[in-house]
Amino acid sequence: MVRPPFDASEYQQRLTAVRQELNRRGLDLLVVTDVANQNYLTAYDGWSFYTPQAVIIPLSGEPYWVGRAMDAAGGKLTAWMSQDHIVGYPEDHVQQADRHPMDWVAAWMARNGWGSARIGIELESYYYSPKAHSRLTAGLPNARFIEADLLVNHIRAKKSAAEIDYMRKAARIVESAMRKAYEIISPGVRECDVIAEIYATQVGGQTGYAGDVTALPPTILAGENASAPHILWGERRFGAEETVALELAGACRHYHAGLARTLQLGRAPSKVVDLAQAVLEGMEAVVERIRPGVSAEDVHGAWQAIIGRYGLKKESRIGYAMGIGYPPDWGEHTISLRPGDRSILEPGNTVHCILGMWMEGWGLEVSETILVSEQGAECLTQFPRELHRK
Amino acid sequence: MVRPPFDASEYQQRLTAVRQELNRRGLDLLVVTDVANQNYLTAYDGWSFYTPQAVIIPLSGEPYWVGRAMDAAGGKLTAWMSQDHIVGYPEDHVQQADRHPMDWVAAWMARNGWGSARIGIELESYYYSPKAHSRLTAGLPNARFIEADLLVNHIRAKKSAAEIDYMRKAARIVESAMRKAYEIISPGVRECDVIAEIYATQVGGQTGYAGDVTALPPTILAGENASAPHILWGERRFGAEETVALELAGACRHYHAGLARTLQLGRAPSKVVDLAQAVLEGMEAVVERIRPGVSAEDVHGAWQAIIGRYGLKKESRIGYAMGIGYPPDWGEHTISLRPGDRSILEPGNTVHCILGMWMEGWGLEVSETILVSEQGAECLTQFPRELHRK
């Protein structure tokens, strides 16, 4: 048995919050298809989501984890529920042309008395396919399916002290990873060798705790690739005069802290120095503005006021709620720091504010993972923000 | 511009094969939602698939890549098509309650003249959600959507010489990673520190080429976790007498080679020695049986005959087609080495044969990535197969 990251009482609180919402919406149960939400509610942890799996939350009693038979062993080791709430579908349903795991899950749900239930279900999650959904609904023709995207995510937005503790550990990991990158990056070094050391630092964690692979890989934007925020590394070597933007994270028990910084090899072009000044001023304004009661769009406004003064524009949002993440994304898909998002910040919210400016052929990034505290804002990582010269 | 991994002629051959199949099925175009298939057809490469993206293959002309505006820059850098075939949907469609990227894509497709087309579409791919599909179909009410899962995957099953070359590079990477793991694993060492070094070796690649992060993470099955094939690492320390099963891969330009081996710390229990003997004999029988013209289930039969003699059973398949992989899976979802799979092997097929025996509280794994050659079978990795003693 792997010890779940949280006490039983914390999982009960999460379930209670989900059930309040199910009752409010008149739903009989919730089918959780998002892997991060599955982990949040059950502690289940395994790289098994390449075959269909779901967590089912009835209005009372323990949740069920339903997945591939081979992975039920991992369910019994990692999830907090009783063994009979870990349900494996047979191996002969895996990647077959004539049957689907969701055929089996539908039949199992019918046997469990949910054949005519009002079923809330997540329909915008990464590992739940249109085919899986059509087979589940075909197998339960008398049930009613009601979209429940983000129901759990909105509950996740407010972190407990124990969750914040994991995010602080993640922050220590990403500080180490960024220090390692600063140390190694030099003209002539291959990108892949820097990313290799970043991975080693992320996964090795710290004394006392392991790290996880982060939900997005480390990115290094430099040279010809600097305009493309999500490009992957290669064998390219750093040039003698290059602006290198790094977006990294650390993860502990899948809780993330993000950190982006920019490093200058050789002479810094004045356009880089000028942009760095605007972005740093923007970040100060953002951190200053964040406190309980302020809206997400207000925070964006603080940034907008600064860069507007510099004659700059940024189309994409400047931040999002962050916490548990599994590939491919560490965002929680709730709060976004952008115009039109009227979410009101409250203590326990955690947002990754990423000021990424991807210009034609070069780019600059600075980010902070920010905890909304009773008093205002707390940056979870402690790492010098300015353009690093080397 | 990042150099695509293959010559233009190779991409043209792939397109031709896809179009033959589209014509055979009477389809006007193909919407490719699977990220590995997108890379196979366009060379597009980026960690952008956490927002919806698709590749569209019309019956003539270049394919289109359609994704988030922010990632069009990466499309222009990595995909081989003309710049006007890289199409970005606006940032204000990302993770919004009142609109969806697929609303925009549907409108764009209608403008492109496909409003009443017969559209083949992949419905069982990771990262294409039921919501995305319902928005796309709602936006194109006069189009007809026809499931085209695995159409591209079946074409991928037969590798070209250039593809095999990347798999050989991946094989060199995974050999290095396994050697590194053998070197470090010792009683008292933390699992996470071994995984850290494995990642560093995978990503650093070799002299002359970088490595990619593999589509599944490295797994170490030891001690209490040995029964669970897809569990992730933690801070657990290896014991003085432990059987440690490792399933790793290497990846080069996203082409994978897998390698599983088992290591014994301290005294080997006789049950482990006996199982190792059966599994090694089984692997020899599999490699012996593989050659052009033999069916996937015949290969499984060769394994079955050996372990049956030892009184053993294995419920899950013993292998699958492997090539390009993006998280969460490196399997191609076509050929499976199991009863009932009548796929006939042909030269250029590559299968990862994984003999994983997960027992109660311990486990053993041995795998080979096998190329079907004109003559028979070639194991792409060269690494001693027997139980490694340390």
Q: Which of residues 208-237 of B touch A (CB under 8 A)?
A: 208-213, 216-217, 219, 224-225, 227-235
- Which of A1-5, B140-144, B163-167 shows the lowest mean pLDDT across its residues? A1-5
Higher pLDDT, B361 or A319: A319
Cβ within 8 Å, pair A204-B219: no
Nearest beta carbon to residue B329 from set A50, A217, A315: A50
pLDDT on residue B227: 84
Check if B145 contacts A (Cβ < 8 Å): no
d(CA A306, CA A365) in angstroms, rounded, equals 16
Strands of chain A (E only): list them. Answer: 29-32, 54-58, 64-68, 86-89, 118-121, 144-147, 219-221, 242-252, 255-265, 319-326, 329-336, 350-358, 363-372, 377-379, 388-389
pLDDT digits (tens, 9 = 90+) for B105-157: 999 999 999 999 999 999 999 999 999 999 999 999 999 999 999 999 999 99
pLDDT confidence of A68, banded at 50, 70, 90? very high
Spacing of C-alpha A256 from chain mean position: 7
pLDDT on residue A82: 97
CB B144 within 8 A of CB B115: no
Residue of A50, A94, A193 for testing the chain B interface, max B β-carbons within 10 Å:
A50
Chain B: closest CA distance from residue A291 (Å) = 24
Nearest beta carbon to residue B210 from set A47, A234, A328: A234
In chain B, the residue whose alpha carbon lies closest to the alpha carbon of A147 is B131
Using a pLDDT cut of 90, give the percent of chain B over it.
95
CB A324 within 8 A of CB A39: yes
Closest CA to B286 of B206, B369, B221, B215: B369
Q: Above 90 in pLDDT, residue A223?
A: no
- Between chain A and chain B, the number of residue pairs with CB atoms below 8 A apart is 227
pLDDT on residue B223: 84
Q: Above 80 in pLDDT, residue A1?
A: no
Residues of B in contact with A210 (CB under 8 A): 190-192, 233-235
Closest CA to B252 of B179, B198, B325: B325
pLDDT on residue A308: 95
Nearest beta carbon to residue A210 from set B209, B233, B358: B233
Other Cβ atoms less than 10 A from the Cβ of A137: the count is 17
Calculate mean pLDDT across residues B209-238: 93
Closest CA to A233 of A219, A248, A245, A213: A219
pLDDT confidence of A360, banded at 50, 70, 90? confident
d(CA A33, CA A173) in angstroms, rounded, equals 29
Burial of residue A9, with CB atoms counted within 10 A of its CB: 0-12 exposed, 13-18 middle, 19 or more buried? exposed
Residues 6+ apart with CB under 8 A from B249: B170, B174, B202, B214, B215, B216, B218, B256, B257, B258, B259, B330
pLDDT digits (tens, 9 = 90+) for A262-288: 999 999 999 999 999 999 999 999 999
CB B193 within 8 A of CB B220: no
Hunting for tokens 């009960």 — which residue is that?
Answer: A12
pLDDT on residue B211: 98
Other Cβ atoms less than 10 A from the Cβ of A390: the count is 13
d(CA A73, CA A65) in angstroms, rounded, equals 11
pLDDT digits (tens, 9 = 90+) for A25-47: 999 999 999 999 999 999 999 99
Q: Above 80 in pLDDT, residue B1?
A: no
pLDDT digits (tens, 9 = 90+) for A102-160: 999 999 999 999 999 999 999 999 999 999 999 999 999 999 999 999 999 999 999 99
| List of long-range contacts for A159-166, beta carbons under 8 Å, 24+ apart | A159/A323, A159/A348, A159/A349, A159/A350, A159/A371, A160/A6, A160/A10, A160/A13, A160/A348, A162/A5, A162/A6, A162/A7, A162/A10, A163/A6, A163/A255, A163/A323, A164/A348, A164/A350, A164/A371, A166/A5, A166/A252, A166/A253, A166/A255
Cβ within 8 Å, pair A235-B201: no
Other Cβ atoms less than 10 A from the Cβ of B82: the count is 10
For chain B, the distance separating the N- and C-terminal CA atoms, rounded to the nearest angstrom, is: 47
pLDDT on residue A79: 97
